[in-house]
Structure 1
Amino acid sequence: MNIMNTKSAIRLTSATLAALGLLAAAALRADNINQTRTAAVNESWATPALWSNNAEASPGNAYFTNGYTLRTPNVTTEANQTFPGASLTVDGDGGSGGGGAMGTLSLKSRVTTIADLRLGTALISNAASDGSGNTLATLNVTDLTVLDGKTATLNGTNSNQNIYLNVTNLLGSGTLSINNTARTYTLAIDDATAFTGIISTLGGNATLVIASDLNLINGAFSVNTVTSLVLNKNLVVPSFTFGSVTLNTLGEAYTAAQLNDHFGTTAFSGTGSLIVASSTIPEPASVATLLAAAVMLAVTLRRRR
């Protein structure tokens, strides 16, 4: 190969690498895609005409409801429907002339999965149906962020349309509220230690079930006096309010029966406990680790004697 051919090959290789680099950068860049109108009954996030880029929701992009109602695909079976975008923000339009002050996510599918869901002034409603009129909607979220200063509400649509919220990480500092009468709302949250907001019930004789140990150690929990709270697992929180009465004496633990006696109600049930604790108190796992380390140190010192 002569020198000229070698230089041409080098230039070609450099140009190819540069082009590949630009393509990779474009692929990694997440575009912000706004919803432009409310989804019709037969439309979903897969409807191209709903989005500002005129394409169905796809991987890599960040999507915003912009004050409109977005629907999941209408699936009457238990087949999971996964949102394909990098993130979905359900919020109002912020006065920008979109759909209004509140964004809505209507769960038409019985099982919905979203990796990164961000809730502002938002309504999450169960609109699923299997023909029985009593359909559970399950929402699986890896990272659920409730935005600062905003209130996001879980709400059944028809009688007995319950919601099961399954979350890996609860984040943010807003308010996650439960609303509506005669519905059962189940919370299964793996990690809420980074959440500094409030979980509350708004009104109606709803039933709220704590299905996994909920360590809300940097947040607060509030229920009204007509809500039934089922403690199937432990609830750890620095401040718990029932109606207008607040429990915030650190270190106290209450069974459901003790809570009923304390508040003069029958609203509490389940085998779990309400534990009033702050983030300054070590968790049981941390205490166990410290005790184990102390035992090992004692054994080591004894062997050296």
Structure 2
Amino acid sequence: MTGKIIKGIAGFYYVYVVDSGIYECKAKGAFRKEKVKPLVGDDVIIDIISEDEKTGNVVELLPRKSELIRPAVANVDQALLIFATKNPEPNLNLLDRFLCMMEEQELPIVICFNKEDIADDGFEQRMRDTYERAGYKVIFCSAKEEKGIDEIKQVLQGKTSTVAGPSGVGKSSIVNMLTEGHSMETGEVSEKIGRGKHTTRHSELLYLGEDTFIMDTPGFSSLFVPKMEPVDLYTLFPEFIEPASNCKFTGCAHDKEPKCGVKDAVSNGEIAASRYENYLQIYGEMVNERNNKYR
């Protein structure tokens, strides 16, 4: 049977098979010999051990179309990043770090701001000006008032999406609304793995409908620094790329250099000041990390 790994814990892989449910599987020894580790999101072939007990073995990994390092998952099509308009106040530095993380892994991103109902005047327009200009789709919603959920469902349809965001932004409320009507599928795995030794939080795929999954992840680090040369950081800020072609100096850091196309774009409003400030902070951390490495 062909299915998709929706959770992996302590050597067990929980494989969702359309119309058949979830099977608790072990991976065959050949994977260890080949040093191949099945990941959440992998499409796999399983052999059934017991249909009654829903157990089996993973015998083959099907080709991956993508693989993320952070979090370690396979076959994800996009990231849905959820922040709140306030309560808690949105940390744009954290948001930009996450965008860099996903850009580094070449994953498309949708930004969702929850709690639209309590947003300050002008906040929505500022965020649209900042992030739509950078090429990202931005959605405003209110889980409390159940507004904007249909728009989120539209962008998720037919894709596997990883969902992330800081605590307190209403991520769980939105995920619960998205999975409503699929409680049998999502609850089945929770019941199967509800054991003491499985209490650690791991990435998990939740089934939303035909060919549509969302991945609830354990979160992401505010300390993320890209693993690339500092001079290349600007490539993770999409709206910097075209202005950077107007810089006078090759290898421009877009910091103190004269005749810098990126700084000109900030001055004339083409690049948001907050994005540029966060770029400089991350750039400085990358330079310090590199210097410490070679001391």
The normalised TM-score by structure 2 is 0.29
The normalised TM-score by structure 1 is 0.28
Structure whose residues are more often helix by fraction: 2
Q: Which has the higher contact order (CA 8 A, sep 6+)?
A: 2
Larger radius of gyration: 1
